[in-house]
Amino acid sequence: MKCKTRGTTIFGRTLSSFLCSLAFATAISCVEADEVALNWSDNSDNEDGFEIERSIEGGDFESLAQVAADAEDYIDTSVTEGVNYTYRVRAFNSFGFSGYTNAASEYINVAPTVSTLESLQIKENETSEALAFSISDFELAAEELTVEVTSNNSDLLDASGILVSGSGSDRFLSLNPKLNTSGEAKITISVSDGEDVSISEFAIVVNSFVFPTLEMAIETISAGARAGEPFTLRSIVSDLELVSAVSYFVNGELVEEVSSAPFASSFDVPESGVYTLSAIADIVGREEVVTVEESISVGSAPADAVFVSELRTLSSSGSSNDDAAGYDLVSDAFYLENESGQISGSSDTHRYYYLRAEGDLSIAAKVSDLQASSNESVAGLMLRSALYGKSAHVSLLQNGAGKLEVRTRESKGGTTNVSAPLMESTEDSWLRIDKTGTRITYFSRVDSDSSWILLHEDELDLGSAVFLGFTVAGGSANGPAEAIFTNVSLQGEIMPMGNDATEPEIPTGLIITSI
């Protein structure tokens, strides 16, 4: 598109005596591109009309048009860019023609050219790439042309966000819309040679910023979070490049701010309960944040690490080494298996998971999922004065018939006594034995929320230091008995095993000497 910006003047003179004088024409200006407007003064009142003649590039004048009497202007719409035209006007009536006005020339300027640019879309807070465009002119060198770029939406893109670079015919345009702003603007590139202006227009669409989605993954050691046990929060972000940092909160209190991907944080909470976890992601270049919130139920703490590390397992008779035993941190569960073992009479062939503690103490556990091979199968808690040699011991056991009973051996080498059944056991038996001096007390309860019920008590001296733990005895050769022990707790001072925790070596070199 182009338009004219300057004009030419035609000066008039006096016509012949039988016609009134034709004065001079005034400005030639651009009505539209490639048009020439002629103006003159009508100095007579007896003309029948006016004749306009035109010469092209210095050639002969030819009649271009006639207009009616009293007319003082004419627009030539048949001109072509890059051509020089000369005009003259005379009046006429039935007696003849007047003389001509002065001749006035007009060169039809060739408007500059500017290449077109395609409309573009960018994201909010992005800058366009350098957009290449070219300019030229028929009459002037490209360096002499004036280039101006404007936006019709200054709220989105003002003059400070428009950068024109380059020289000669090759120019470049970079657009930098305002931060955190979206919308559309019409961009106009205007190129002027001082007479004509050519423009090129295109649209820029700034799409609204799309905030990344944020999810929070919770990774725990076990099937769920447990008090005192670290768990990991990890942010799952749809576009990591948009996030500068993630802050993690527990019940509204800041735990950690992580400033690098994958934005993970590991920590623990000291007590069981329900907690609100929050992750707040800071977005690059924006004041807004993205937040996600989740609730987590934290279970009871797993067995104390010292407790687990000190535990040992054996078959008290030394004859069932193939029996299985182990601890699973994920489920915080101890597993024991035994076949054919006995805790009765003078027999001590059970499987034992134990450690050594000193002084007054208490041990508790839930016996879960007892797989009995017979009614004689038992699983539960045991305290012993020593590991070997049919030592004194006490135990609170669940038997294969689903009843709880206490078994005791009062002295080394003695017989194990079995109490009458104390109570029916539920599917899971919660058991506890307390030792205070020589007083031994036995407890049970229905579940973790119930109070402990005293089942039985004894006076029995096991010594200051005892071995305590979990036990399983199969009771028959029908297959192994299995039990799982969870929710384990211990109150007491754990101590090293000591030399007496192992069976003595077999003597050798026996001979008979004479007296």
pLDDT of residue 202: 96
pLDDT digits (tens, 9 = 90+) for 31-52: 345 789 999 999 999 999 999 9
**Is pLDDT of 512 > 80?**
no
From-to residues of CATH 2.60.120.200 in the chain: 305-501
Cα dihedral angle (224, 228, 229, 233), rounded to 10 degrees?
70
Q: Is the pLDDT at 356 greater than 50, yes or no? A: yes
Q: Is pLDDT larger for residue 13 or for residue 70? A: 70
pLDDT exceeds cutoff 50 at 108? yes
Query: Average pLDDT of 128-137?
Result: 95
For residue 307, the 8-state DSSP code is: H
Four-residue CA torsion sign, 220, 224, 229, 232: positive
Domain 305-501 has CATH 3.30.1490.20: no
Q: What is the chain's Cα-based Rg?
A: 53
309 band by pLDDT with thresholds 50, 70 and 90: low
Give the pLDDT mean for 300-323: 55
Give CATH 2.60.40.10 domain extents, the chain: 1-109, 113-207, 214-298
What does the angle CA 287 – CA 288 – CA 290 come to, to the nearest 5 degrees?
140
Q: Say which residue the tokens 């380059």 belong to.
A: 166
pLDDT in tens, 441-478: 999 998 888 899 999 999 999 999 898 888 888 887 67
Superfamily of structural domain 113-207: Immunoglobulins (2.60.40.10)
Report long-range pairs for 94-100 (Cβ below 8 Å, ≥24 apart).
94/48, 95/18, 95/19, 96/16, 96/18, 97/16, 97/19, 97/51, 98/15, 98/16, 98/19, 98/22, 98/44, 98/47, 99/13, 99/14, 99/15, 99/16, 99/22, 100/13, 100/53
Given a cut of 90, whether residue 501 has pLDDT beyond it is no
Say what the alpha-carbon torsion angle 474, 480, 486, 490 is, to the nearest 10 degrees.
40
Could you tell me where the DSSP H helices lie in 177-333? 305-310
Contact between 203 and 117 under an 8 Å Cβ cutoff? The reply is no
Q: How far apart are CA 501 and CA 495, in angstroms?
A: 11
Return the minimum-mean-pLDDT range out of 10-14, 261-265, 338-342, 385-389. Answer: 10-14
The candidate with the shortest Cα–Cα distance to 150, out of 197, 111, 109, is: 197
pLDDT at residue 315 in the model: 53
**Residue 301 predicted with pLDDT over 90:** no
Confidence check: pLDDT of 28 > 70: no
Residues 109-125: tens digit of each pLDDT: 999 999 999 999 999 88
- What is the spatial distance between Cα 175 and Cα 158, in angstroms, rounded to a whole number? 9
pLDDT band at 20 (very low <50, low <70, confident <90, very high): very low
Structure confidence by residue, pLDDT tens digits, 167-179: 999 999 999 999 9
CATH entry, 1-109, from 3.30.70.2190, 3.30.360.10, 3.40.50.2000, 2.60.40.10? 2.60.40.10
Tell me the two tokens of residue 355: 């450690």
Cα–chain center distance at 124: 19
pLDDT at position 390: 81
pLDDT in tens, 75-84: 999 999 999 9
CA dist list (Å): 291 to 142, 277, 278: 55, 11, 7
pLDDT band at 7 (very low <50, low <70, confident <90, very high): very low
CATH number of the domain at 214-298, please?
2.60.40.10
Q: What is the pLDDT of residues 258-275, one digit of tens each?
A: 999 889 999 888 888 999
- What's the pLDDT at 325? 75
CA distance 315 to 211: 62
Please tell me the predicted confidence (pLDDT) of residue 223.
66
Helix and strand numbers (H, E) in the chain are 1, 38
pLDDT at 6 over 60: no
